Every structure is written in C-alpha cells, then in structure tokens.
Amino acid sequence: MNYNSKIIQEDLEKVKNEKINFDYFENKKVLITGANGMLARYLIYYLMYLNDTNDTKIKIYALARNKDSLDKNFMIEKRNDVIPIIKDICDEVNIDDNIDLIFHFASSANPKTILSNPIEIIEANVIGTLNVLKFAKKNNSEVIFSSTREIYGKMPDGVESISEQDMGILECFDTRACYPESKRMAETILVNYNAIYNIPFLNLRIAHVYGPGMNINNDGRIMSDLIENAVKKEDIILKSTGEAKRAFCYITDAISAIMYIIVNGNRNETYNISNETEEVKINDLANLIADMYKEDNIKVKYEINTNTKAYTNFKRVGLNTSKLESLGWKPKVYLKDGIKRTVDSFLK
C-alpha cells in the first residue's frame, strides 16, 4: 500500500467528503501506536491527506517497532509532518512534545500469533495500554483505543444484536482468550485512568475491517486469506464447511466512523464499529470472490480441519451500530466493491 496510489487517494478523498468538521484536528499533535498496522496506517494516511489538502498542520508521531517499514510506509525522508518513533509499546513511552491525541492501535489479532505467541498479545494490550495511559497522564492527552467485538464473548440465547452495554461470557482457559481477555483488561485500564486521573478516552469496539494494506501473507484471518487467493490467482481452500457468518467493514467506512466518533461522540464512552448490512456465510464469500475473478479459474475446495483453536466458535451475533449512526455515520462501501478495491490495490 502506497500513500500516493490512485486507490488510496480516492479512498482518502471519500472520507474527507464526509460531513465532519475537520477543523477539530487543526494544529493537533497526534501519536499513533502500532503505526505499521492496516488501520493505524490508513489513519496516518488520512491525517497526512488533511495536511496536504487542507493545510491542517497536524504533527503525526508514528510509533512502531520496524523502522524500515515506517520509512517505506510514510515516506519519512520526504515529509516533515510524520515523525517516526521506533519503540516496542511494552517499553516506556517518552516523547518530548505535548501530545493532544493518542490512538492506541498497537496489537495483533493474527490467529497464528494467538497460538504461537499469546504472551506478546497480552503484553501489548495490557502493559502497552498502561504505558500509553501513563504517558497520557503526563500530557493530559485524550486516548482513542482500538478494542474488538470479541470482548463481548458468547452471548445468551435469544440476543439478536449486541449494544455497547451488553456483555457475554468468555472462558479464560480457552486457548485464544489471550486476545479478548487482554482487550477487556485494557478497557478497564482506560476507565480507571479516567476515574482517578481524569484522562479522557474513546473506546472503539471494531469488527472485521479489511482493505488495502491488510496483511495477506499467510495471515490466518478469513478475509485476508481469501484476498491472498485472489491476488495470487490460486484456488480457495476452506478448512471448514463455511457455514459460519461474518460481516466485513471496508477500511474507509471504519476510518470515517472513527472520525465521526472523535468529532461528534461523547467522551469516556464505547462505540461499536461494524458494517452489518451484508452479513455473509464464509462459503458464499469464497464463491463470490471466485466468481469475481472467474477468468483466473479460481475454484473453491474444502479441506475440513477440526483444529480451530485460534478462532472463536461462538455463534455470531451482529453488532448494533445505532449509537454510531446517531452521530451521522453510515457504511457506504458494498462488500463486492470493497473486495475489488482491495485486490486491485495489491495488483496495481
């Protein structure tokens, strides 16, 4: 993914055309952790775009562990509005500037990492969040936290839609509990730093975002794997019957949701971010992608794998996004269009 690519520039312009008062960001100093991740990277691109098109004079601190990726992703040598911070979020955050906003997006949801290195996930979500909040306390910064729909856990029978005040059950002995349980603890840290030190926050429970810049290199998440198959023009191998349902949110809808929440939302609250308009079975999604690229003769095959410890096996219940929609947001990118833009971004 490249900031100057046609697809990225089109996406950023669409977000900019939303009815949001972007003067809010003028002259702000912003820290984004996990800067090389897809959502954080797109967010940084968007702030860069506001600087380029509106001269908003946002100063962007991009924190990540990989210097080469930071340099490549954000053209560090060619810009003076993006300052790289090479650091593990589990180390103390210490920036010699007064930061207004902190986007804490440093975390991994990769199923393979959940199985191979769960401690790293726990540390980023718990120790990393503590480090961010300690730094925010020094600066009196506002914190925007990227949480997950998975913190809701298994919902009781009969629940048809999950609102922000709902809560289900998580089994802490489950293999993949490292991810949702540590995200829950991170949310608790946010709430308590606000209660004790009056640090303002916004908590974003985000579901299944995809788009240009997503990791498609043996990632393990279904949309990433299917996009990889389409890009490489190879058969789709499903490891299950594909009856499970998902709802996917294109990256620009997620970024515009975050902007609506920051500008119009109530502080110290939680917002669901999801596109529930096109719920789809995994096998139907696979066949949709195969049909979209039928000139590549992509076939859908099944190799059932009962080892699904890295994936949640709860019955899916959709997120209620009425709270977010009350701020003026609604999803605008259809699933098929988002998939095409994503695949094209890797081919062009």
Residue 285 in any domain: the answer is no
Residue 53 in any domain: the answer is yes
pLDDT at 307: 61
> Do β-strands 280-281 and 245-246 pair in parallel, antiparallel, or remain unpaired?
antiparallel
Q: What is the Cα–Cα distance from 256 to 98, expressed in whole angstroms? A: 26
Q: What is the model's pTM?
A: 0.95
Please answer whether residues 186 and 225 qualify as being in contact, where contact means their C-beta atoms are separated by less than 8 angstroms.
Answer: no
Residue 228 in any domain: the answer is no
Q: What is the Cα–Cα distance from 40 to 62, expressed in whole angstroms? A: 9
> Do β-strands 142-148 and 101-104 pair in parallel, antiparallel, or remain unpaired?
parallel
Structure tokens at 324: 């977010």
DSSP 216-271: -SS--SHHHHHHHHHHHT--EEESS-S--EE--EEHHHHHHHHHHHHHHSPTTEEE
Residue 79 in any domain: the answer is yes
Structure tokens at 62: 């991009």
Residue 197 belongs to domain spanning:
6-210+249-274+313-332
**Distance from chain centroid for Cα 232:** 24
Q: What is the Cα–Cα distance from 204 to 271, expressed in whole angstroms? A: 5
How many domains are there within the chain?
A: 1
Residue whose C-alpha is closest to residue 164's, from 329, 2, 346, 322: 322
102, 241, 259, 269 from 262: Cα distances, Å: 12, 40, 5, 11
Please answer whether residues 176 and 310 qualify as being in contact, where contact means their C-beta atoms are separated by less than 8 angstroms.
Answer: yes
pLDDT at 304: 83
Residue 33 in any domain: the answer is yes
Domain containing residue 133: CATH number: 3.40.50.720
Residue 345 in any domain: the answer is no
**Distance from chain centroid for Cα 33:** 12
Residue 152 in any domain: the answer is yes
pLDDT at 282: 96
Q: What is the Cα–Cα distance from 227 to 286, expressed in whole angstroms? A: 10
Structure tokens at 257: 């949701």
Residue 298 in any domain: the answer is no
Going residue by residue through the chain (348 aa), what tens digit of pLDDT does each one get?
799 999 999 999 999 999 999 999 999 999 999 999 999 999 999 999 999 999 999 999 999 999 999 999 999 989 999 999 999 999 999 999 999 999 999 998 888 888 889 999 999 999 999 999 999 999 999 999 999 999 999 999 889 999 999 999 999 998 889 999 999 999 999 999 999 999 999 999 999 999 999 999 988 899 999 999 999 999 999 988 899 999 999 999 999 999 999 999 999 999 999 999 999 999 999 999 999 999 999 999 998 876 655 555 667 899 999 999 999 999 999 999 999 999 999 997
pLDDT at 257: 98
